[in-house]
Structure 1
Amino acid sequence: MDKHASPKRSLEHPDKTSPDEPALRQGAYHVAISWLDLVVSVGIMVIVGAVVIWVVIRVIQPAPPSTLTISAGPQYSRFWFAAQKYKEILARNGVTLRVLTSSGTLENLNRLADPASHVDLGFVQSGLTSIPSVISPDTRQSGLMSLGSVSNWPLFVFYRGPDLMRLSEFKGKRLAIGREGSGTRQIVLLLLRANGVEPNDDTQMLPLVGEDAVNALLAGTVDVAFLTADSARPALMEKMIRTPDIRLFSFTQAKAYIRSFPFLSQFEVPMGAFDLADNLPPRSTDTIATTVELIARDTLHPALSDLLVEAAGEVHSGASLLQKAGEFPAPVAHDFPLSPDAARYYKSGKSFLYRVMPFWLASLTNRLLVLLVPVFVLLIPALRFVPPLYAWRVKSRFYRRYGELIALERSVLDDPSEEKYAEFTKKLDAVEKALNKLQMPLAYADEFYALREHVTYVRSQIGALRTVKDSGT
């Protein structure tokens, strides 16, 4: 096809139809819009949008569960009562907290590490993962995370007899070191081993705790009682301080312990802490302390993480003998990594939605925003591609016919035989019939008539070529 030929030529001076050219019905089905092309164009955008929404739904956090389970500690223990307060706070926000009693830190950890237990939270004394014989590798790698420390957990050691300065001097004595399964017992055993004190015939280690340990010490059936913040109630400590021949052990090597065991910290019992009038104890005494952390599974919903850290602030932030006001909760983690959600909360607090809305409404709104933002940011701008896609689909029909027309013209020019001309005429008739059956939007009528004019032009040019050939023959 001659690219320099004017397509308007045949309209002003149309060539006569060849005698061999069939009379074809000239016409097309013009419509206001091609619904098929529009449906396909819009359909592609709908599919793309559905994929985007599916990806967002897969990535977005589901709604926070309405029920959580916490493994707290022995009934009526300090952290059992703390868990009851958590339960009240979460209930105000529509979340039910189930409180399970346990023998202590070890059982809490085992429950958290076992998905079949369905325990979401637990109070865990820091430092236990440094004891290989106590915590298994599976527990260390079970996907647990810390929501922060919620309390100091100082160790108070009362003993009978003359002043002692080192734990190694307790060798050969009767020691009340806490119940089986408690974190305190494991920490005490770790410290005693570091001082060469092992259970044997000379050194007895008894599973006594709290008031039982105090009574045994007062009765003389044990020589040393290791107490923690949960079991060393102020009344019991004052009672022992007032008893002649019973002393509060001072960790004169506290700094060495802290450097040897990074999960430990130095804790000072102030002079007069138990009785200001009688100045008991009569001097400041150094001891060592661990912390208690709120441990959760790494699947904990971010909204619930915020709610729990907020509840921890309400429960544990008060001043006491063990801590300053506002000291806890704190973003301090030892055995397990600090949760990213908890770290964000400690740094910037609750998000705007959770500050101004009820918990359930803020959670719903947050999820809707996460779902709708991709729709507005990605899908709505993508709609501008619908008109070009629609135009391309309509014009592609013309492009396809032009390709056929060029191929037919070249086939005859390369081989102007009678057989090739007959084949050309048959195929060109088929092209023209197919063209006249197209449904064309009125907006593309000019392309339609230009293509039909070019079909006529090619027919006339090949017809003229055949006439010249016949004349030459």
Structure 2
Amino acid sequence: MRTKPPSAKNPSIVRYTRNTFTQELMAWVMLLRSEWKWALVIVVGMFFLLVFTKPLPPRDVHLAVGQEGSKFELIGKKFIPYLADQGISLHLIHTKGSAANIATLADPKSSVDAALAVGGVASKGQYPQLQSLGSIEYIPLWIFYRGKAIQGSGAYQFFSTKRVAIGNIGSASATVLEKLLALTGITLEKQPNFLQIPDKEAIEKLLAGEIDAICIMDSINAPNVQTLLKAKDLNILNFPLAPAYVKKLPFFSAVVLPMGGLDLKAARPSQDIKLLASSGVLLVDKAMHPAIQQAFLIAANEVAKSDEQFFATPEFFPAYIDYSIPESPTAKRFYDQGPPLFADQIPLWLINYLDRIWLLALGGFAVIYPLFKLFPSYRRLRSVMLIEEGYEKIQSIENLFLNSNGVYELEKLIDQLNQLDKESVGWSVSSEEMNRLYTMKSALNLVKQQIYLQLQVASKEG
């Protein structure tokens, strides 16, 4: 009784895809086994590339904010949740003032990574290792004093005999006032009545009548300034020559506290008051991770939007307006193009890393892509290599056979062919090259038959 031959299975794209994937995987496994040294070199190279490009920013950042009760301290506190959203813990560091903030940031032994300071405290080129992320708001120079309102330009004569608190050594008020007075030939060393004491202590002494005036640089919304503005018996010095000072000291801007700006009903102040104002600048070490810089810029942008900008038009800040410290490339790009795309959905460190690595990845792709074009799949390439090596061995054995007549030599050649035939059974060959494998096996058997015939002749002659 004849048995019916088994029917062929219908072709299946799933089975074909699975077999193709399995063959490819096996080929790469064999590649790793045979070329593991090169694979190790690649892995080590990628590791050092990651270390060199620093994809992850540090988790802790320290921001110098100056004295307690200052607007910089309030801004620093508002920055904390924005950086926390990026997994960064922001720690506020108090100092004696803006100059101390900058000096601490510039100190390589310091742990401070960023600083809020008043523009103009640092001279151009003084701190080449620092960069600016821009200004956040105007910081006026306030001079509150007791007594009759000063009219005209007799302020220097009036204050030359008064007890005036100008802030700590290194504070913005003391540093900027020194530059301001130098334009008229006055030095702080020759003014023993100018007292260098902390702002909080000076405010208490002024309100208690122990001193006559206080010079302070801070935002109009700062707690210290608000305390002084609420005092009914204090006057604010008017700077009628403010535009002239701006020409001499470009970090200054001329701003106006308008009549009724503090209390519209009571018309406080009773007239427009011209003030000199610098700006609050966010400074960073130039080596700071770009992702942290972006987090600071986003925070500064949101804080500027939420805060009432008394002296500036809406959405003017943040902006790069103080040129004492060079602008950070990250800040320039932020101001030109806005926040990174998908900043709300993707961590800033990842956006930043992809942005920095794309050029390197493009260069690598330019080298690797042609190789993939030459070798579409390694499994097929490996199959071709195995079969070509098999042909080379067969040809080598055939050449030896043509020059061999002894029985022992011929038997050795047959053993080599049998060994090659046995090895080829275990080869993982892609389906595309299967026909070449069996063609190679046919060639192997043909050479083997020729050697057997010669072996029979040699055996008879022997």
Give the TM-score normalised by the residue count of structure 2.
0.66
**Residue 285 (structure 2) pairs with residue 297 (structure 1):** yes
1:153 deviates by: 0.8
Q: Find the residue that maps to 1:128 and give its secondary structure.
A: coil
2:114, 2:282 within 8 Å by CA — same for their partners in 1?
A: yes
Contact between 1:127 and 1:335, CA under 8 Å: does it hold in 2?
yes
Query: Which is higher, the Rg of structure 1 or of structure 2?
Result: 1
Per the alignment, in what secondary structure is the counterpart of residue 122 of structure 2?
helix
Equivalent pair of 2:387/2:440 in contact (CA under 8 Å): no
Deviation at 1:370, TM superposition (A): 9.3
In the alignment, is residue 199 of structure 1 matched against residue 188 of structure 2?
yes
Equivalence for 2:60: 67
Q: Residues 114 and 405 (structure 1 numbering): CA distance in 2 closer, same or farther, change over 3 Å? A: farther
Q: 1:79 maps to what in 2?
A: 72
How many residue pairs align between the two structures?
401
**Match of residue 273 from structure 1:** 261
Whole-Å Cα distance in 1 between the matches of residues 339 and 49 of structure 2? 23
What residue ranges of structure 1 are gaps of 5+ in the alignment?
1-32, 409-420, 458-473
Superposition pairs for residues 100-179 of structure 1, below 5 Å? 100-130=93-123, 140-142=127-129, 144-158=130-144, 162-165=150-153, 172-174=160-162, 175-179=164-168
Change (3 A) 1:349 1:368: closer
Task: Confirm or deny: 8 A CA contact 1:120 1:297 kept in the other structure.
Answer: yes
How big is each residue's C-alpha offset from its partner over 1:37-61, in whole Å with a ceiling of 9 and x where there is no partner?
9766566597386467446524554
The residue number in structure 2 matching 1:264 is 252
Counterpart Cα distance in 2 of 1:196 and 1:400: 97
- Listed as ranges, the matches of 1:35-434 within 5 Å are 41=31, 47=39, 50=43, 53-54=46-47, 57-58=50-51, 60-91=53-84, 94-130=87-123, 140-142=127-129, 144-158=130-144, 162-165=150-153, 172-174=160-162, 175-201=164-190, 204-208=193-197, 210=199, 213=202, 225-229=214-218, 230=222, 233-234=225-226, 236-237=228-229, 239=231, 248-252=237-241, 254-317=242-305, 318-356=307-345, 381=372, 384=376, 386=378, 387-388=380-381, 391-392=384-385, 394-395=387-388
| CA–CA separation in structure 1 for the residues paired with 2:154 and 2:288 | 43
Change (3 A) 1:37 1:371: same
The amino acid that maps onto 2:98 is T
Distance 1:231 1:276 in 2: 21
Preserved contact between residue 124 and residue 324 of structure 2 (Cα < 8 Å):
no
- Say if 2:165 and 2:202, in contact at 8 Å, map to a contact too: yes
Number of the residue aligned with 2:11 = none
Query: Contact conserved, 1:147 with 1:342, CA < 8 A, in 2?
Result: yes
Q: Does the Cα contact within 8 Å between 1:150 and 1:294 map onto a contact in 2?
A: yes
SS at match of 1:153: strand
Q: Percent identity?
A: 24
Q: Residue type of the partner of 2:106? A: A
Looking at structure 2, the residues matched to 433 and 36 of structure 1 have their Cα atoms a distance apart, in angstroms, of 29
- The gaps in structure 2 that reach 5 residues or longer are 1-22, 428-433, 451-462
Distance 1:448 1:258, change over 3 A: farther
**Superposition pairs for residues 17-32 of structure 1, below 5 Å?**
none
Cα distance in 1, alignment partners of residues 191 and 291 from structure 2 = 54
Q: Residues 364, 157 of structure 1: CA spacing in aligned structure 2 closer, same or farther, 3 A cutoff?
A: closer
For 1:219-271, what per-residue CA distance to the aligned partner results, in whole angstroms no more than 9, with x for missing partners?
A: 8876654222257624524647x56xx5623141x334333333222222222
1:429–1:225 CA distance, 2 compared to 1 (3 A): same
One-letter identity of the residue aligned with 1:128 = V
CA contact (8 A) 2:239 2:276 kept: no
Distance (Å, rounded) in 1 between the aligned partners of 2:69 and 2:202 = 17
Residues 55, 349 of structure 2: 8 Å contact kept: no
Q: Which has the higher contact order (CA 8 A, sep 6+)?
A: 1
Deviation string for 1:260-297 (max 9, x for gaps)? 33322222222222333443333323222111112223
Query: Structure 2 vs 1, CA of residues 39 and 315 (structure 1 numbering), >3 Å: closer, same or farther?
Result: closer
> Does the 8 A contact of 1:73 with 1:103 survive in 2?
yes
Alignment partners' CA distance in 1, 2:161 and 2:203: 16
Structure 2 Cα separation of the partners of residues 218 and 366 of structure 1: 50
Separation in 1, partners of 2:261, 2:98: 28
Q: Secondary structure at the match of 2:174?
A: helix
Q: 1:323 to 1:385 in 2, by over 3 A?
A: same
Name the CA distance, whole Å, in 2 between partners of 1:131 and 1:363: 31
Q: Following the alignment from structure 2 to structure 1, what is the Cα–Cα distance between the partners of residues 59 and 291?
A: 11
Against the structure 1 CA distance between its residues 401 and 297, is the aligned structure 2 distance closer, same or farther, given a 3 Å change threshold?
farther
Relative distance call for 1:106 and 1:199 in structure 2 (3 A) is closer
